[in-house]
Structure 1
Amino acid sequence: MNFKQLGIKDTLNNQLHKRGIHIPTPIQEQCIPLIKSHQDVIGEAQTGTGKTLAFLLPLFEKIDLDKLSVQALILTPTRELAIQITEEARYLAEALPIRILSLYGGKETAHQLKKLKGGIQLIIATPGRLLDHLKKGSVDLSSVHTFILDEADQMLLMGFKNEVNTLLRQLPKKHQTLCFSATMNAAVKKLAYGMMKNPTVISVRKKEVTLSAIKQEVVETTDRQKEAALCTVLDADNPFMAIIFCRTKVRVDKLEASLKKRGYNCFKLHSDILQSKRERIMKAFKKGDIQYLIATDVASRGIDAPGVSHIYNYDIPQQVEDYIHRIGRTGRAGEVGYTCLFIDPKDKTMLDEIEKAIKYRIPRRLL
């Protein structure tokens, strides 16, 4: 099966070929025909399996280039994810001139207003900034035929449910709804079903991605000795590009300062950093100019850097889903990734939960 057989235009096909993309991934192969035929879809697949193209490609097929109105809306929980999807969409727009606007906090509103007046066909937004524009009357969603929730678990369960419901009231009664996420538990699916019409559920099992493409290890230490243990591992591995995850912004700040003192090429990324600086850091990281990115879980949803070979969980995540999202930053596109989790005795219960969920006892790494 290739993209042409899925009904994707030659112009878009050629654009994909420039990036070396020739064969659709399972989530793309299953979702593209359903989306093109206007069905509601719930797509569940691990990060790195091609979810973004699974909805962008059929979306580009459906947008009428002659109509200068907002025909599609993509909603994401974070600015990083909005930026990532916008980059993908703009790359496709080089072949098919669809007018795209990203709306998220930290960007100049006046510039966004100017672009809106020129006629926009696809909006990629975070809820807060989009609602601001709706209140001002600068965005009209009455022509939207396709509404996409990306990272639907965050959007529906983690603080954005009311915003999503407010936005839904602005859309035409007849529209297609698509929900995508790496993890869709029963509670999220129940909420999704409430705003969709007989959705087809497409699920690519996360076990295959998590276990076969990523080597996982655990380092047992104490919180006092954790930083020294991390440095021992970093010195032994010397990865090309790696992400180090911490529990809080304060922990990120402290670890970055300490590692910089030790001479490591590292930068931090979390929501308190100015958006313009976050974008510069991400650009440098993707280019390989930064070896270690130290981040909170907010970043785990929005980082798409293909060269990431190693993930270090300096602090154990509070939920199994967060562990899966974090390690999903590596082991992508056929590459083998590596992830190392640092635990102290109080983390044992959470580690047991993770191992039970992924049906795998993670080997211990001895230092």
Structure 2
Amino acid sequence: MTQNSEHTPASADLDPTVAAIAEDIVTEDAAPVAPEQTFADFGVHPAIVEALEAKGIVHPFPIQAMTLPVALGGHDIIGQAKTGTGKTLGFGIPALQRAIGPGEPGWDGLEAKGTAGAPQALIVAPTRELAVQVAGDLTAAAARRPLRIATIYGGRAYEPQIEELQRGVEIVVGTPGRLIDLMRQRHLRLDLVNTVVLDEADEMLDLGFLPDVETLLAAVPAVRQTMLFSATMPGPVVAMARRYMTQPTHIRAADPEDEGLTKKDIRQLVYRAHHMDKDELVARALQAEGRGRTIIFTRTKRTAARVADELTARGFAAGALHGDLGQGAREQALRAFRNGKVDILVATDVAARGIDVDDVTHVFNFQAPEDEKTYVHRVGRTGRAGNKGVAVTLVDWEDMPRWSLIDKALGLGQPEPVETYSSSPHLFSDLGIPKGTKGRLPQAKRVLEGLEGETLEDLGGPEAKQRDGGRGRGREGGRSRDGERGGREGGRGRRSGEGRDAARGGGRGERSERSGRGRGEAPAEQRAGARSRGEAPAEQRAEGRGRGRGDGRERTASRSEAPAARTPEPVAGVELTDARRAERAEARAEARRRRGGRTRTRRRNGEVVDG
């Protein structure tokens, strides 16, 4: 461990961006902590130590061992470490230790001042998933103390969060947008916060949240402890640290045997693969010996939904996690993944930020990442907490220029990945795939419950009402884009299915349309012709059919009762122009000529009408 007592970056390996605030920063490089050290050795509250031991957490990781002595002393900290190194407890334990819960020493003084129940610590995270993860870790660490921890983020109803704040909380964990909303509505009180934590500050920069973070920092007291944690230190993050922190100590977890940008515990394999063979290749690779929980990364939401659907069809227990899913479906997929009901999570980069599951054994880059930073984030989902991991990257031919830049930036030494197919012998030997494995999971191995085994929580938010709740007016009957397996969150959505690219089974919309025609609905050409002859617009017909009807079966019945094709009747409330009347008369005349001049008699409102 080295420390520059003159507050200058004497160490040559200090980042150039950090050097810009050298006068204000003490730099410490963390050496590996001795195995016999425990959290109790750092003066952590006995109740917190007991709670951690109950979870099997006894020895701190390097970033925790370096952070705790400084943070417990109340000093500002910039913590920099690779993903998966235990940063959460590095800032979580000091925040918990400083907070005072109901009935604890000092609580009476807070009640006397009228400040009991006001938030004492604020932890800001860039994504909902990360906020939930951090809150869960803090709740586990505070299990033996009466501290109340609230998780505040978007996608959920406001009312439960407001009620929780009104009942009183000691620690608030949340995302910037919802925190600012509740602060401006005067439901979230920040004037008594004494500890502020900014987690994944570089990700906040990427997502455009730094202005919101500065808004929150301006609302908390000037005298406070601020801890900023970030995997990298880009210029805007450094500028924010200089503005809002007081002589922060810059701490980095350094492993002399792991100098690369990616962790040494991760075995990285790169293959050049054809996009039409990727599904089969991945399906076989997922049957490798020793594979546990697996995350598959894609660049687009549509690809994530399609791949998850394809793997499910092949017998795997897979779930999707992407931005088109409602918050309820996203949390359902994460719970199912953590609870072992699905062992494969197909996710986009943004949705997967903050996923912290220690026993992920494999990561697949189904599509090459955009840049080296995204690559590091992806592969960092495995090999966490001292475990080993495998990262497999599939590079399309058109992605080779991008991959060469990523390889050069990270020094991976694989600028020209070997051409690989699902039947390539080296694929089987590299990953330990049993000989003869095909792209479908054998029936005997399909033992997991899948997403259906995880309860879908009703969050009660606006998304649930608008997208996850009522039935849409679309004719195709496609599933909601926010519902797991095409609409578990509330039935039919606002847009029809789009093949397997809609979230978890959107292609049912097309099947629904075909089945509707089989029940007697006019073909598209006839419906288009009917509209050209003066029939009311589809929206009015749909509204008329849906008025007073309770479910989709009645709407289907009303369509099937209609003849397949006939001369349309005038629609009430729709005024016919002279040209339209002439067109209709011509159509009736043409019909008579086809019948050989014969006419037929029809009745309308009790009057005889010549057809």
TM range (shorter): over 0.9
SS at match of 1:198: coil
Asked if residue 303 in structure 1 is aligned to residue 339 in structure 2, the reply is no
Alignment map for 1:153-302 (pairs within 5 Å): 153-205=202-254, 207=259, 210-236=262-288, 239-302=291-354
Contact kept in structure 2, 1:182 and 1:325, CA below 8 Å: no
Q: Deviations over 1:43-70 (max 9, x none)?
A: 1112221100001111111113314221
Contact kept in structure 2, 1:300 and 1:325, CA below 8 Å: no
Take 2:259 and 2:278, find their aligned partners in 1: how far apart are those partners? 29
Q: Deviations over 1:82-104 (max 9, x none)?
A: 11011111112211211211101
Contact kept in structure 2, 1:38 and 1:176, CA below 8 Å: yes
| Cross-structure match for 2:83 | 47
Take 2:309 and 2:168, find their aligned partners in 1: how far apart are those partners? 46
SS at match of 2:358: coil
Answer with 343-352 or 314-323: which moved more: 343-352
State the 1:135 CA deviation. 1.5
Contact kept in structure 2, 1:99 and 1:120, CA below 8 Å: yes
State the 1:257 CA deviation. 2.1
Question: Aligned AA for 2:155?
Answer: G
Shift in CA distance, 297/251, structure 1 to aligned 2, threshold 3 Å: same
Take 1:260 and 1:157, find their aligned partners in 2: how far apart are those partners? 33
TM-score (norm 2): 0.58
Asked if residue 73 in structure 1 is aligned to residue 109 in structure 2, the reply is no
Take 1:349 and 1:187, find their aligned partners in 2: how far apart are those partners? 29
| Cross-structure match for 2:145 | 96
Take 1:202 and 1:73, find their aligned partners in 2: how far apart are those partners? 21
Take 1:336 and 1:208, find their aligned partners in 2: how far apart are those partners? 16
Take 1:187 and 1:110, find their aligned partners in 2: how far apart are those partners? 35
State the 1:197 CA deviation. 1.7
Take 2:404 and 2:259, find their aligned partners in 1: how far apart are those partners? 17
**Pairs aligned (count):** 367
SS at match of 2:392: strand
SS at match of 2:276: coil
Answer with 42-51 or 155-164: which moved more: 155-164
State the 1:136 CA deviation. 0.9
| Cross-structure match for 1:328 | 380
| Pairing partner for 1:142 from 165, 177, 191 | 191
Contact kept in structure 2, 1:214 and 1:330, CA below 8 Å: yes
| Cross-structure match for 2:390 | 338
Contact kept in structure 2, 1:157 and 1:188, CA below 8 Å: no
Question: Aligned AA for 2:217?
Answer: L
SS at match of 2:275: coil
State the 1:240 CA deviation. 1.9
State the 1:130 CA deviation. 0.7
SS at match of 1:302: coil
State the 1:347 CA deviation. 2.1
Question: Aligned AA for 1:155?
Answer: M
Asked if residue 125 in structure 1 is aligned to residue 180 in structure 2, the reply is no
Answer with 350-359 or 57-66: which moved more: 350-359
Take 2:251 and 2:410, find their aligned partners in 1: how far apart are those partners? 20
Decide which structure has the larger Cα Rg and report it.
2
Take 1:118 and 1:72, find their aligned partners in 2: how far apart are those partners? 16
Q: Deviations over 1:175-210 (max 9, x none)?
A: 221111233334433333332222111112474683
Q: Deviations over 1:103-162 (max 9, x none)?
A: 011222111111111221110011111111012111110011111111100213421111
Take 2:407 and 2:289, find their aligned partners in 1: how far apart are those partners? 24
Take 1:346 and 1:237, find their aligned partners in 2: how far apart are those partners? 31
Contact kept in structure 2, 1:73 and 1:147, CA below 8 Å: yes
Take 1:262 and 1:319, find their aligned partners in 2: how far apart are those partners? 31
State the 1:73 CA deviation. 0.3
Unaligned runs of 5+ in 2: 1-36, 102-106, 111-115, 421-425, 428-611
| Cross-structure match for 1:21 | 57
Structure with higher RCO (Cα < 8 A, 6+ apart) = 1
Answer with 208-217 or 270-279: which moved more: 208-217
Contact kept in structure 2, 1:145 and 1:172, CA below 8 Å: yes
Question: Aligned AA for 2:299?
Answer: R
| Pairing partner for 2:364 from 307, 312, 318 | 312
Take 1:75 and 1:40, find their aligned partners in 2: how far apart are those partners? 16
TM-align CA RMSD: 1.9
Take 2:132 and 2:199, find their aligned partners in 1: how far apart are those partners? 13
Q: Deviations over 1:292-334 (max 9, x none)?
A: 1000112332212222100000011112111111111111222
Contact kept in structure 1, 2:260 and 2:410, CA below 8 Å: no
| Pairing partner for 2:410 from 336, 355, 358 | 358
Take 2:289 and 2:362, find their aligned partners in 1: how far apart are those partners? 9
State the 1:259 CA deviation. 2.1
Take 1:10 and 1:259, find their aligned partners in 2: how far apart are those partners? 47
Question: Aligned AA for 1:230?
Answer: V
State the 1:22 CA deviation. 1.4
Take 1:237 and 1:255, find their aligned partners in 2: how far apart are those partners? 22
Contact kept in structure 2, 1:183 and 1:321, CA below 8 Å: no
SS at match of 2:232: coil
| Cross-structure match for 1:10 | 46
Take 1:110 and 1:187, find their aligned partners in 2: how far apart are those partners? 35
Take 2:253 and 2:235, find their aligned partners in 1: how far apart are those partners? 16
Question: Aligned AA for 2:412?
Answer: Y
SS at match of 2:150: strand
Take 2:327 and 2:358, find their aligned partners in 1: how far apart are those partners? 22
SS at match of 1:42: strand
Contact kept in structure 2, 1:213 and 1:334, CA below 8 Å: yes
* Structure in which a larger fraction of residues adopt helix: 1
**Percent sequence identity over aligned pairs:** 37
Question: Aligned AA for 1:351?
Answer: W
